[in-house]
Amino acid sequence: MPINVRRILVPVDFSDHAEPIIEWAAHLAKEHDSEVLLLHAYHLPVEFQQLEGAYLPQDFWDSVKGEAEANLEKYAVGIREMDVAVKVLVREGYPATVIEDEAVEQKADLIVIGTHGLSGLKHMLLGSIAERVVQKSPCPVLTVKLSR
């Protein structure tokens, strides 16, 4: 049975590990003649949301979204140079949920996501977006663990 990968969703957190993960996805896309969907999810931390009277004006959120789009576009240039189609997506919300929702919305065939490989107490305290995506994803997920 042939594997048909038309759209590869790549969540990007702008960490130091983002570029190699994007490269993995771009090479897979080139091999399968796929489109790469670069996605960044931003959200207001729960601690801030619980402050009474906390308010950030719309222009703040517009600038957050604009900066994220500009940063994703920098990655997109390199992908386009490989002659691979790429789309930039920026969404507000909890990252794991946004990734799952966009996988459905964009009809993704594969998600390529990085994992920091935390264990023990750090994993318990920080959780893992990648782990949640693997558990709830509507499509296959390739996790990329990079050496430290």
What residue segments make up the domains of the chain, in order of their start?
Answer: 7-145
Average pLDDT, integer, range 107-115: 94
CA 111 – CA 14 distance, rounded (Å)? 17
Longest dimension (CA), the chain: 56
Q: Quick one: pLDDT at residue 125?
A: 44
pLDDT number for residue 120: 57
Neighbours of 114 (CB within 10 A): 22
Q: Which residues fall within 8 angstroms of residue 36, CB to CB, at 6 or more apart?
A: 8, 10, 22, 25, 26, 29, 79, 84, 85, 86, 87
pLDDT of residue 9: 98
What's the pTM? 0.86
Average pLDDT, integer, range 121-143? 79
62-91 mean pLDDT: 95
Judged against a pLDDT cut of 50, whether residue 65 lies above it is answered with yes
Give me the helices (H) in 44-119, please.
46-49, 58-81, 95-105
* pLDDT reported for residue 124: 47
Whether residue 142 has pLDDT greater than 80: yes
State how far the alpha carbon of 147 is from the alpha carbons of 5, 28, 116, in Å. Answer: 27, 20, 9
- Residue 53's pLDDT is 55
CATH number for the segment(s) 7-145 = 3.40.50.620
Dist CA 121 CA 40 (whole Å): 27
**Hey, what amino acid is at 117?**
G
